[in-house]
Amino acid sequence: MQGTRVYSPAGEELGHIDDVMIDTSSGKIVYGVLEFGGFLGIGSDHHAIPFGKLRYDTSREGYVTDLTKEQLEQAPRQHETWREDREWQRRSHEYYGVAPYWL
């Protein structure tokens, strides 16, 4: 999964999956961490996207999301402890328009 490309609805390559977060209670992937922007990894951004916003497209051999590049650029920024920060996760799910995975 790591390195798999992510595309916008228009087919624009947005970046690739750099990491995932798994909910230890359910064993399900709850976030895909998208790396985008920059050049050869320098100056790139990372955004934890609720995994429900990603759909695998076999014809593209990558994920498609309904998010645009502009929406990703405006998304809540991660911080060092985002994985444990329920308030940040709640705001992130609200921004992306999906129910939190823990509900």
Phi-psi region of 44 (alpha: psi -120 to 50; beta: other; left: phi over 0): beta
Could you report the per-residue pLDDT of 91-101, keeping only the tens digit for each?
999 999 999 98
Q: Structure pTM?
A: 0.83
Q: Quote the tokens at residue 8.
A: 């916008």
Domain ranges of the chain: 5-96
Could you report the per-residue pLDDT of 24-37, keeping only the tens digit for each?
899 999 999 998 87
Asked whether the beta carbons of 57 and 45 are under 8 A apart, the reply is no
For residue 41, the 8-state DSSP code is T
CA distances from 5 to 17, 41, 70, 92, 99 (A): 6, 14, 17, 21, 24
CATH fold for domain 5-96: SH3 type barrels. (2.30.30)
Q: For position 84, what pLDDT does the model report?
A: 85
Could you report the per-residue pLDDT of 46-92, keeping only the tens digit for each?
889 999 999 999 999 999 999 988 888 888 877 778 888 889 899 99
